[in-house]
């Protein structure tokens, strides 16, 4: 076992000190790859990896960790990964560093796949003279169709760029390539030609396909809503009040009441209020024109909900924080009344929380992302556009999980580059991926991940009428965390 670990590093030109190889798990390819990555990054010229270097890498890593908040209640919510705002002035180099960081995070996932473990740098491939089988990892920097209807991709890594040819006769492969988006990071197996690679297989970082769904012992429910849009003249207050009455167990038949009282976690995935000045002439569509009053009203509504429901709220593009992602938590000044509620947890967009952990149960990991990037993929990716488009946000969610990124294409969302991290990379595979934004409820199961896109509490806006969107308001998805069955409740007319 130990010698395998030593060999792993030797193949990469690094001598592993025996004192260290003892402590490494040679079975865990991801861990070994991580260590290799970190070592290459921190130590540019050393060829020996020993215990003291390992420790210094390890200590550096610990500083990056966010110390989780502690929730000792029976229904705990712990923020496991949350964006901490960096106030430093942005420089051009931040973008480069940011993309490098993303490349490292995602190529690590790819490298641990069977078939890509021997991937080599593009620089090395460009130097090959003979026809040879190779694998490589790179981001897609261009995508074109030739006169003969084959596809040419340009893949780039940190060492160079190379053309990859995908011939039209390789049907499933060509289809996958056709739906690639620019800047996403993929793996390729193929054979070398003259400064090109002829592709045989294409790999996405993706999520594992064979995971069993995590379940807890107690019959409790997680509920999802999004896009409340308080303050809009089209806010469906009566429907929302019906929902509140239901969750409090005061309306519905006995089975519905019974289920309602078992809801312990409520997620509100952005666009809590309609905001002010979000688009020109929005004023005409507001009945609360003051942003503070919009949040007061939102607070008043959610304060009516039973206090034993944990309510997790994140901002969306209509909320009063910067629109560039990651969006920080809502400003204290705006949500003063909301923060006084003991059961409300305000998180960033995106964010990663763990719910319902207890001794002996690791809890459920939940990824929240409002979904501002979804419009881009609905408009630009054939497999989504031609299969329902705006009516199928679940397809976007699946697509983004495959890329392990919430906005892989540069320009698909507004973002602030953090040189030390890429917060939109899906580093850990969640149990639930929750979103909103397109005002259309949708659910799908992809690997172990349950994707849920919330509905909305706003009727069709003139803009949506004009572009032909069909919002479906006043729905709530309810997940039974014991069985993982999902129900959709309708509080509309
Ligand atoms: O977004 C609600 C829905 O409307 C969502 O699908 C995006 C779409 N929308 C809203 N404004 C625009 C513009 N200006 N261009 C394209 N699509 C848009 P919400 O975030 O609630 O406004
Ligand atoms: Fe919205
Ligand atoms: Zn939105």
Strand order in the sheet with 442-446: 77-82, 351-355, 364-368, 432-435, 449-453, 442-446
- 55 pLDDT exceeds 90? no
Q: List the residue whose alpha carbon is closest to atom 12 of ligand 1.
A: 463
**For residue 86, what pLDDT is reported?**
67
pLDDT exceeding 70 applies to what percent of the chain?
Answer: 94
Angle at 301 between CA 300 and CA 303, to 5 degrees: 65
- 92 pLDDT exceeds 90? no
Instruction: Examine residue 18 and say whether the peptide bond preceding it is cis (omega within 30 degrees of 0).
Output: no
Q: List the residue whose alpha carbon is closest to atom 19 of ligand 1.
A: 437
Question: What is the rounded average pLDDT of the residues 449-459?
Answer: 98
Mutate to test the pocket of ligand 1, among 286, 453, 463 (most ligand atoms within 8 A of CB): 463
- How far is the first Cα of the chain from the last one, in angstroms, to the nearest whole number? 64
Mutate to test the pocket of ligand 1, among 282, 373, 375, 395 (most ligand atoms within 8 A of CB): 375
**For residue 50, what pLDDT is reported?**
73
- 410/378 Cα distance (integer angstroms): 15
Q: Where are the alpha helices (DSSP H) in 212-310?
A: 237-247, 254-260, 291-302
pLDDT band at 63 (very low <50, low <70, confident <90, very high): very low
Question: What is the rounded average pLDDT of the residues 164-185?
Answer: 97
**For residue 292, what pLDDT is reported?**
97
- 3 pLDDT exceeds 90? no
- 460 pLDDT exceeds 60? yes
Ligand 1 atom closest to residue 378's alpha carbon, by position in its atom list? 6
- Select the more confidently predicted residue: 291 or 23: 291
Confirm if 248 and 306 have CB atoms less than 8 A apart. Answer: yes
pLDDT exceeding 90 applies to what percent of the chain?
Answer: 77
User: Which phi and psi (to 5°) does residue 327 adopt?
Assistant: -85, 125
pLDDT band at 66 (very low <50, low <70, confident <90, very high): very low
Mean pLDDT of the chain: 91
- 60 pLDDT exceeds 50? no
- 59 pLDDT exceeds 80? no
Q: List the residue whose alpha carbon is closest to atom 16 of ligand 1.
A: 375
Question: What is the rounded average pLDDT of the residues 226-230?
Answer: 98
Angle at 425 between CA 421 and CA 427, to 5 degrees: 95
Question: What is the rounded average pLDDT of the residues 176-183?
Answer: 97
The residue written with tokens 């402590």 in the block is: 23
> Six-digit token pair at 278?
């979000």
**For residue 402, what pLDDT is reported?**
98
**For residue 233, what pLDDT is reported?**
98
**For residue 363, what pLDDT is reported?**
97
Alpha carbon of residue 319 to chain centroid: 19
**For residue 41, what pLDDT is reported?**
67
pTM above 0.75, yes or no: yes
Ligand 1 atom closest to residue 456's alpha carbon, by position in its atom list? 21
- 65 pLDDT exceeds 60? no
Q: What's the CA-to-centroid distance between 178 and ligand 1, angstroms?
A: 26
**For residue 64, what pLDDT is reported?**
42
- 113 pLDDT exceeds 90? yes
The residue written with tokens 């799908």 in the block is: 444
- Select the more confidently predicted residue: 58 or 254: 254
> Six-digit token pair at 266?
């409520």
- Domains, the chain, in order of start with CATH, read 2-58 (no CATH), 72-85+209-490 (3.60.21.50), 92-203 (2.40.50.140)
**For residue 20, what pLDDT is reported?**
76
Mutate to test the pocket of ligand 1, among 374, 437, 470, 471 (most ligand atoms within 8 A of CB): 437
> Which of 98-102, 259-263, 373-377 has the lowest average pLDDT?
98-102
Q: What is the pLDDT of residues 287-341, one digit of tens each?
A: 999 999 999 999 999 999 999 999 999 999 999 999 999 999 999 999 999 999 9
Strand order in the sheet with 221-225: 344-346, 310-314, 263-269, 221-225, 475-480, 486-490
Question: What is the rounded average pLDDT of the residues 137-150?
Answer: 97
Tell me which residue of 267, 276, 375, 349 sits closest to 318, measured CA to CA.
Answer: 276
Cβ neighbors of 117 (< 8 A, separation 6 or more) are: 29, 111
Question: What is the rounded average pLDDT of the residues 271-293?
Answer: 96
**For residue 433, what pLDDT is reported?**
98
Give 490's strand partners.
475
- 133 pLDDT exceeds 90? yes
**For residue 148, what pLDDT is reported?**
95
Question: What is the rounded average pLDDT of the residues 450-475?
Answer: 96
Ligand 1 atom closest to residue 458's alpha carbon, by position in its atom list? 21
Q: What's the CA-to-centroid distance between 80 and ligand 3, angstroms?
A: 24
């Amino acid at each position: 076992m130990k010698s395998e670990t030593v060999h792993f590093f030797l193949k990469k030109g690094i001598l592993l000190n025996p004192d260290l190889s003892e402590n490494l798990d040679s079975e865990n390819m991801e861990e070994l790859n991580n260590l290799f990555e970190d070592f290459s990054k921190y130590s540019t010229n050393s060829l020996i990896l020993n215990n003291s270097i390992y420790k210094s890498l390890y200590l550096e890593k610990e500083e990056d960790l966010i110390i989780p908040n502690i929730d000792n209640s029976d229904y705990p919510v712990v923020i496991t990964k949350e964006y901490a705002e960096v106030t430093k002035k942005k420089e051009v180099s931040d973008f480069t560093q940011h993309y490098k960081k993303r490349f490292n995070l995602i190529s690590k996932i790819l490298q641990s796949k069977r078939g890509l473990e021997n991937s080599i740098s593009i620089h090395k491939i460009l130097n090959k003279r003979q026809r040879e089988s190779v694998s490589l990892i790179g981001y897609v920097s261009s995508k074109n169709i030739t006169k003969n209807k084959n596809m040419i991709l340009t893949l780039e890594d940190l060492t160079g760029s190379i053309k990859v040819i995908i011939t039209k006769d390789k049907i499933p492969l060509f289809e996958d390539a056709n739906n690639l988006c620019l800047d996403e990071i993929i793996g390729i197996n193929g054979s070398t030609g003259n400064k090109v690679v002829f592709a045989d297989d294409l790999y996405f970082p993706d999520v594992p396909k064979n995971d069993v769904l995590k379940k807890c012992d107690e019959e409790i429910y997680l509920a999802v809503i999004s896009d409340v849009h308080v303050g809009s003249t089209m806010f469906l207050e009566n429907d929302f009040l019906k929902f509140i009455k239901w969750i409090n167990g005061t309306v519905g038949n006995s089975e519905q009441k019974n289920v309602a009282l078992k809801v312990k976690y409520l997620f509100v995935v952005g666009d809590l209020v309609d905001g002010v000045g979000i688009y020109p002439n929005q004023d005409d569509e507001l009945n609360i024109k003051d942003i503070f009053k919009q949040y007061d009203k939102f607070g008043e509504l959610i304060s009516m909900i039973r206090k034993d429901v944990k309510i997790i709220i994140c901002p969306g593009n209509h909320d009063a924080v910067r629109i560039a992602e990651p969006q920080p938590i809502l400003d204290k000044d705006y949500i003063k009344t909301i923060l006084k509620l003991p059961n409300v947890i305000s998180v960033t967009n995106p964010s990663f929380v763990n719910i319902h952990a207890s001794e002996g149960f690791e809890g459920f990991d939940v990824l929240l992302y409002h979904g501002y990037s979804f419009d881009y993929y609905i408009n630009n990716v054939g497999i989504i556009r031609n299969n329902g488009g705006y009516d199928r946000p679940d397809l976007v969610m699946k697509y983004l999980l495959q890329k392990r990124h919430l906005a892989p294409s540069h320009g698909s969302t507004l973002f602030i580059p953090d040189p030390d991290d890429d917060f939109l990379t899906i580093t850990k595979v969640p149990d639930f991926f929750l979103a909103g934004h397109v005002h259309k409820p949708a659910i799908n199961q992809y690997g172990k991940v349950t994707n849920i896109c919330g509905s909305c509490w706003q009727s069709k806006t003139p803009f949506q009428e004009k572009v032909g969107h069909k919002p479906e308001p006043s729905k709530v998805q309810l997940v039974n965390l014991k069985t993982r069955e999902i129900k959709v409740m309708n509080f509309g007319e």
